[in-house]
Amino acid sequence: MAAPSGEVRRVADVVLERILDGSYPAGLRLPAETELATALACGRSTVREALRHLADQGLLQSRRGSGARVLDYRREGTPALLPAYIRLGRFDVPPPTLARELLSLRATIACEAVRLATRYAKPAALAEARERLERAPGLERDPAAHALNELEIFRALILASELWPAAWMLNSFWAPLRELHGNLAPALGSVNPRFQRAMERLFAHIEAGKEDAAVAHARKWFASVDDVLVRAVERYFGPAPKATRTTTRSATSSATQRAIQQATPPASGKATVRATSRRQKGARS
C-alpha cells in the first residue's frame, strides 16, 4: 500500500507518534472521528483515511459502531511501519544497534535472493536483474536513486527464480525498504565505489550456477558495506552503549528527524507554518 501524503500523512503521523510515545496506549479506544477531525483541524474523511492507513500497519483495529482500538505496535506492527518508526525516532534500542540488526536482516534477505536465483533462475530470467545492474553506473551521482535501484536488483533476482511464494512473502518488505532507502541514502553519503565491480562478480557466480560462491560473495560484500553504514550512524548518534537496551527517545527522535530533513528538500514556508500550527493544535487537544 502506498504511503499517504499531504493532510492524511500529517494526521497519520500525529496519531502514530502518540501511539509510539504511549499517549495512546495499547487497548485504548480512540476518540470518535469527528472529535479527532476537530482536534487535528482537518476533515472527517481525512481522519478516516489516516486511521485506515494505520490499521494496515497493524496499529489499530476498527469495528463498525465501536470505533478504533489501539493495538500493541511492538507485537502487531508490520514491515510497513518501519519507515515511520525510523522517521519518528521512537526507538527502544540505540540507533547503531537497530541499524546493525536491520542491515543484518536486509543482508539475509539479499543473500536468499542470490541463493534462489543461482539455484532456480534460467539465464533469460536474469535479464531484468542484469539490466538493473547495467543501469547503476549512471545513478552514482544520486545516492537515493542508486540505493533504490540496488533494491530492485535483488528483487529481480528473487523474481527470476520464479519461486512465487517466496516472492510474495518478500513483497511485504520491499515497499517499506524503498521508502527507508529513499529517505536515508542521501544522508549516508556517496555510492560505494566498489559496488559495480562487486556486483559484476556476484552475477558471474550466479550465471555460472555457483551457489556457494555466490552466497559467500554476497555475505562478504554486505558485511563490509554494513560496517561502513553502522559507523556512519555511530558518527551521527554516538556509539551504542554496551549492555543497554534503551536510549533517550526525545534526543533520538530529534537526531533522526534532523538526518532525514538534511537529506530531503524542505517544504515551502507557508506549508511548514500551517503544518506546525496544526500540530500544536493537535498537541493541545
Asked if domains 6-78+268-284 and 95-237 share a fold, the reply is no
Domain 95-237: CATH superfamily is GntR ligand-binding domain-like (1.20.120.530)
The CATH architecture one would assign to domain 6-78+268-284 is: Orthogonal Bundle (1.10)
163-214 confidence digits (pLDDT tens): 999 999 888 888 787 777 766 666 667 888 999 999 999 999 999 999 999 9
Model confidence at 5, in pLDDT bands (50, 70, 90)? confident
Domains of the chain: which residue ranges? 6-78+268-284, 95-237
pTM, full prediction? 0.72
Q: Render pLDDT for 205-247 as a digit per residue (tens, 0 to 9).
A: 999 999 999 999 999 999 998 888 888 778 777 776 665 444 4
Nearest to 26 by CA among 85, 76, 70: 70
Q: Which grid cell sits at 237?
A: 548518534
Which pLDDT does position 274 carry in this prediction? 42
Choice among 41-50, 119-128, 178-187, 254-263 with the minimum mean pLDDT:
254-263
Contacts of 272 (CB under 8 A, 6+ apart): 266
Q: Is residue 155 over pLDDT 50? A: yes
> How many CB atoms neighbour CB 155 within 10 A?
23
- Better-scored residue on pLDDT, 276 or 152: 152
